[in-house]
Structure 1
Amino acid sequence: MSTNVIKARVEGMTCDKCVAHVTHALESVPGVVSAQVSLAGASADIVASDSVTAQQLADTVKSAGYVLTV
């Protein structure tokens, strides 16, 4: 399995609980190995298999109440 690092922008986070919520949401997507989410940078670095799509990630984060843009 090949992996990629996907760099994304995350909007709507205001605190550390938001970071934890977004991290958990991203890591729940099948094929995501890990997610490093930054409140200060309003960003996420996601390590995922080639089968994971930007749309999957965006939809998952949207369902958690935030906006993710790859």
Structure 2
Amino acid sequence: MINEKNPLHGITLANMLDSLVAQYGWEEMGARINIRCFNQDPSIKSSLKFLRKTPWARDKVEQLYLKSKRQ
């Protein structure tokens, strides 16, 4: 269930990535969000490390996640 005030409440970044990888796969995610951790030797661990340090990239992942849940 998506909370209207904060739709990401209670959803961890790891859960978002797991869901997105299951839905799109790494190749499609890399095409949608062009960042190295999705395009070169992708893994959940390396992506989490990068996204936790990079607010603009995390924002793009969060927006993709929200968009994927609306479909």
Shorter-normalised TM range: 0.3 to 0.5
Relative contact order, higher structure (CA 8 A, sep 6+): 1
Q: Could you state the TM-score of these two structures normalised by the residue count of structure 1?
A: 0.37
Higher helix share: 2
